[in-house]
Amino acid sequence: MFTKAELLSHFDFLEKSQKKEEILLELNEGDVQTIHENEEIAEVLKNEEVEFIKLLFFGYYRGRMTDFVIRDVGNVKIEKLDETKFKPWFQSREEALSVLHISQFRRLVYEIQEAELPLEEYIWEVPWEEWLKYPRSAKSAEKLLLKIAYYLEQIGELSIALEHYELTNRHPARERKVRILEKLDRQEEGLEIAKDILDNPSNATELTFATDYLNRSGVRINRSMTERLKHAPSILIEKDPELKVEQATLAYFEKKGWNGFHAENFLWRGIFGLVFWEEIFDESHGSFHHPLQIQPSDLNDDVFFESRVHLLEARLESFKSRKSLKSQIEKYHAEKEGIANRFVIWHESLLPAVLIMIEKVPLKGLKQVLLEMSKNMKENSAGFPDLFLWHETDYQFYEVKSPNDHLSAQQLFWLDFLAKSKIKIDVLRVNYL
């Protein structure tokens, strides 16, 4: 607790040239008593009670009280919410305590691993069934389950790892089960899980895994990242060490008369946040719990889409023309500029780029993309193409890939979806002179 200077002031036998680590080795219990006699040392009590109170307010025990200060001094502008519509995070004290106990156990797991102790000896009496029966604690429990199961898998405890993966279908549990079953020579069981994933994937990564696994197993599925890259158009440019490949590609097209923007997720997320502002900050769904929230608590869950689908569809249906969509974008940009929104980065380039994109992209396709994003916000708010190019009569989106780069599952998902939505999209291979 004490600095090197403070320790030197208490003991004249210490040398200034010594490092603090060396000083600490020289001190004994008697010296510690001397410090206690000369210094007032305060110990923080009731830490667990404070953690529980913060959990009840913030929804997690690590909530920072400084967030109030940041808001009150104006460093972060937060949407004004109707506090009379706030709902508790938890349905019962038992559910809240389960979340608290999971967080405590998570810290214990971290300490056990840091100390390089055998974690497998500490997990036999963990009350997974109790933790998994409550909605809030189940989310925390599943994350920890996956961490522990993967550790068991890495140390070769495949059967015990499989038992833990069986307790959840949260990604990547099904993928890991398939891989373990293959190692245990139980391929038929693995194939059944892979087929189930193919019929009902939780995200693009899981779908790609199942597709590749079934292809390797002789069940042909026509979906391949390698094939997509192989047949993609390509350009040849000079390599500039000061430019990223996307910037160099943009410069290449600008010389050919195109206007361009390094759009990626920034552009699509910005449109989503401005179009669905009211739906995101609607307090009536019980997903706002305190005045410091900048997004609903169910945003990353299936329930976000399921509970709002009619509102989201109605919002999109209200845009009968590009003009009406532009009008709302401009309205919300003017009224809400600077207010924290998970999807909107308030940059001066956002509004001009969004308005150009609305003018160029088919309105029906744009609506389809926005609705698809809302179905799985955790996964589907990323993976969009790198570049948005346009000139007076045409436009093009490109996912740029250098020679050693590859397509991610989420990028492949959006390439397929945008193409099906009649939006001009392609992979562009970049080779260097």
Q: What was the pLDDT predicted at 170?
A: 92
Token pair belonging to 152: 């068991």
Task: State the amino acid at position 59 in one-letter form.
Answer: G
What mean pLDDT value characterizes the chain?
A: 91
**Six token digits for residue 171:** 């990604």
Domain boundary among 188, 216, 244: 216
Nearest to 55 by CA among 88, 87, 81: 88
Domain assignment present for 53 = no
Does the structure show a pLDDT above 70 at 220? no
Does 63 score more than 90 pLDDT?
Answer: no
At residue 178, the 3 state secondary structure works out as helix
Same domain for 361 and 257: yes
In a domain, 70, yes or no: no
Helix (H, G, I), strand (E, B) or coil at 111: helix
pLDDT of res. 222: 54
Residues 352-407: tens digit of each pLDDT: 999 999 999 999 999 999 999 999 998 899 999 999 999 999 999 999 998 888 88
Residue with tokens 């002179």: 433
12 lies in some domain = yes
- pLDDT given at position 263: 86
Look at residues 364, 282, 371, 299 and name the one whose alpha carbon lies nearest to residue 325: 364
Is 72 domain-assigned?
Answer: no
**Phi, psi (deg, nearest 5) at residue 234:** -140, 160
Q: Where are the alpha helices (DSSP H) in 184-244?
A: 187-199, 204-216, 225-230
Decide: 164 and 148 in contact? Cβ < 8 Å: yes
- pTM of the predicted structure, to 2 decimals: 0.83
248 shares its domain with 209: no
pLDDT of residue 21: 86
Asked if the structure places residue 382 within a domain, the reply is yes
Residue 83 covered by a domain: no
Task: For residues 258 and 379, state if they share a domain.
Answer: yes
* Domain co-membership, 362 together with 389: yes
Query: For the chain, what is the domain count?
Result: 3
332/200 same-domain check? no
152 and 237 fall within a common domain: no
Pair (209, 261) in one structural domain: no
Same domain, 239 and 208: no
Which residue among 183, 216, 249 closes a domain?
A: 216
Q: How far apart are CA 288 and CA 433, in angstroms?
A: 54
Poorest-confidence range of 229-233, 240-244, 339-343, 352-356? 229-233
Q: Is the pLDDT of residue 182 over 60?
A: yes
Give burial (CB, 10 Å; 0-12/13-18/19+) of 230.
exposed
Cβ atoms < 10 Å from Cβ of 9: 12
Per-residue confidence band for 35, with pLDDT thresholds at 50, 70 and 90:
confident
Residue 290 banded pLDDT, cuts 50, 70, 90: very high
Q: Is residue 44 part of a domain?
A: no
Residue 56's nearest CA partner among 111, 103, 107 is: 103
| Cis before 172 (ω within 30) | yes
pLDDT grade for 79, boundaries at 50, 70 and 90: very high
Q: Compute CA distances 304 → 136, 266, 276, 310, 376, whole Å.
A: 15, 21, 12, 11, 8
Query: How far, in Å, CA of 254 to CA of 350, rounded?
Result: 19
347 lies in the same domain as 277: yes
- Does residue 312 come out as left (phi exceeding 0), alpha (psi in the -120 to 50 range) or beta? alpha
Average pLDDT over residues 151-171: 94
% of the chain beyond a pLDDT of 70? 97
Q: Are residues 273 and 328 in the same domain?
A: yes
**Whether the Cβ atoms of residue 180 and residue 158 lie closer than 8 Å to each other:** yes
* Within a domain: 265: yes
Q: Which long-range contacts (CB under 8 A, 24 or more apart) does 104-107 make?
A: 105/144, 106/140, 106/144
pLDDT at position 254 = 93
Show the domain range for 391: 233-432
114 lies in the same domain as 150: yes
Distance CA 21, CA 67 (A): 35
Q: Per-residue confidence at 129, pLDDT binned at 50, 70, 90?
A: very high
pLDDT attached to residue 225:
60
Torsion of Cα atoms, 183 then 184 then 188 then 194, to 10°:
-50
CA torsion angle for 24, 30, 34, 39 (degrees, to 10)?
Answer: 60
Q: Out of 216, 242, 261, pick the residue that ends a domain.
A: 216
Residue 417's pLDDT band (cuts 50, 70, 90)? very high
Side chain identity at residue 303, one-letter code: V
CA distances from 343 to 286, 385, 408 (A): 21, 17, 21
Domain co-membership, 327 together with 247:
yes
Per-residue pLDDT at 408: 87
pLDDT digits (tens, 9 = 90+) for 238-284: 888 888 899 999 999 999 999 999 888 999 999 999 999 999 999 99
CATH of the domain at 101: 1.25.40
